[in-house]
Structure 1
Amino acid sequence: MTTISAPVVRALARPWLGGAVGIVLLLVIWAAFSTVLPSSSIVPTPWATAASVFKDFGPYYSGNLASTLGRAGWGYLWGNLAGLLVASIVLIVPRLEEIVTQLGVVSQCLPITAVGPIIILIFGGRSAAIFLAALLVFFTTMIGAILGMRAAPRAALDLVSAYGGSRFTQIRKVQLVSAVPAVFTALAIAVPGALLGAVVGEYLGGIDSGIGVALNAAQRNIDPQRVWGMSILAGLIALLGYALVSLIGRWVTPWVRRGGSH
């Protein structure tokens, strides 16, 4: 049986290389579905989809993408601020953790497609898209921050207390520092959530531009190339946002190592 050399194994273990291999495999499967199977009428080829994106990027894709990114960005901002604020309150008043966590779980259990129409009636289309984006961000960031703060080493907290440090000194010098890696992980995970919330809000109506609006129109017009093109671009944007926040997190927390601590 053929064995794989150690350098090859180490190369395949690299996250970026594994992701590249996965993308190539997906493209191969996509091409097979679009050219061989009977579903080719609704699954355009990768090259046909790419041609559609390059052809209509200026008049069609760029404007809709920019609109959605704006709404997702505002939702990402407000959702993260709310999540970090609530986590900070829980840190100061630990008794509130169970209540806050339960409310957060309830907010995530509500079907977004069921809540969306109500939000649109209350806030209107654009504000509803921002609200839904913030809703999908809030819980992720709040839980990540709470777990990060709770992961502070007990010995470090006791040391600060032994030297006469107050509770706020423990929070400032130990718990907040310990929470930074977990917070950045949550911020990275929240990027796709913000984009999804904005797209769903647009898809439900009340807005004249955006990824959700473009997908809705392309589906009505039976234009699979634009449906696939817009969906893939949205996925790539979410992936790039996740990667960017993750890179910033690594830069901000250089003490973090796999399997280690600061």
Structure 2
Amino acid sequence: MSTSRRVSLPAWSGGLVGTVVLLALWWLLALTVFSGSGSVPTPWSVVTQMADDGWDFYATNAGITLRSASLGFLWGNVAALTVAVLALLVPPLETVATQLAVISYCMPLTAIGPIVLVIFGGRAPSIFLAALSVFFTTLIGSLLGLKAADRTSLDLVAAYGGGRFQQLRKVRVVAALPHVFNALKIAAPAAMLGAILGEYLGGIDNGLGVALTVAQQQYIVPRTWSLALVTGALAGLGYAFFALLARFATPWRTS
């Protein structure tokens, strides 16, 4: 009688294997296909450049960009959630809210950014573009979540004399939480992208976008890649933070 043993691997092993394969492929392409142009440095060159630049260089620029992204993330999401609640309490406003979301999503950020820079100057474009980048995602996710409430629960609140506000507070908010957190997970990296695009427009002296522009102009390829990796890591951490927060805030939706 033979018995078969199944080897169970930890959940993080898949990500580790994928990372190793990606690094190996990156190294191979840098040494073969892109060796002549030098546009793709090896991972070791990027790590060496980061060590030469020092912690202060990346921490200072990342901190400045994170502040703009966080402010834009806050204001954009507050605006989106407010509009979603108003659209639910006043149904005729839903069409206007949806159109507003579509307009904000289709509006080219690189076109509206210079206007904000001329009017307000400073870091306003970075914050504004970060807010604009998250508005559509959070608004649509919130509207879908608020409208996904169980009809029986809504009828029960109404049967006890509750109005739209009581239904919103006791039923719809709970039903919307998983949708809102899903939207926030996507909005966090989008805020980073919007903040960096705002920094590309100029008018400021620091930030990851400014450092990327200078590195490209000076053709310091390893630094360009290292800054891009730092940006991607921060965006990934933002996504992971809200994914973890969703597990604690909405345990009924996690397995």
Q: TM-score range by the shorter chain?
A: over 0.9
| 1:17 CA displacement | 4.0
The reply on whether 1:228 has 2:225 as its aligned counterpart is yes
Give the match for residue 121 of structure 1: 118
| 1:46 CA displacement | 0.4
Any idea what SS the aligned residue of 2:243 has? helix
Q: Which runs of 5+ in 1 are unaligned?
A: none
| 1:60 CA displacement | 2.0
What do residues 186-238 of structure 1 show as CA deviations (whole Å, max 9, x unaligned)?
A: 11111111100110000111110001100000001110010000000100110
Give the match for residue 93 of structure 1: 90
Question: Separation in 2 of the partners of 1:7 and 1:169?
Answer: 51
Give the match for residue 134 of structure 1: 131
Structure showing the higher helix proportion among its residues: 1
CA RMSD of aligned residues (A): 1.7
Q: 2:67 aligns with which of 56, 63, 70?
A: 70
TM-score by length of 2: 0.92
Question: Separation in 2 of the partners of 1:249 and 1:114?
Answer: 34
Q: 1:38 aligns with which of 29, 34, 39?
A: 34
Distance 1:174 1:52, change over 3 A: same
Letter in 1 for 2:133: L
| 1:23 CA displacement | 2.3
Q: How does 1:1-262 map to 2 (within 5 A)?
A: 7=7, 11=9, 14=11, 16-39=12-35, 41-257=38-254
Q: Indicate if the aligned counterparts of 2:104 and 2:135 stay in contact, CA closer than 8 A.
A: no
Any idea what SS the aligned residue of 2:253 has? coil
Distance 1:38 1:139, change over 3 A: closer
Distance 1:176 1:38, change over 3 A: closer
Distance 1:6 1:204, change over 3 A: farther
Letter in 1 for 2:112: V
Question: Separation in 2 of the partners of 1:159 and 1:39?
Answer: 68
Question: Separation in 2 of the partners of 1:239 and 1:185?
Answer: 14
What do residues 7-33 of structure 1 show as CA deviations (whole Å, max 9, x unaligned)?
A: 55xx58x4x444333322221221111
Q: Which runs of 5+ in 2 are unaligned?
A: none
| 1:42 CA displacement | 1.3
| 1:6 CA displacement | 6.0
| 1:183 CA displacement | 0.8
Distance 1:6 1:185, change over 3 A: farther
Question: Separation in 2 of the partners of 1:39 and 1:119?
Answer: 41
Question: Separation in 2 of the partners of 1:21 and 1:109?
Answer: 38
Paired-residue identity, %: 50
Q: Indicate if the aligned counterparts of 1:125 and 1:202 stay in contact, CA closer than 8 A.
A: no
Any idea what SS the aligned residue of 2:210 has? helix
| 1:69 CA displacement | 0.7
Any idea what SS the aligned residue of 2:251 has? coil
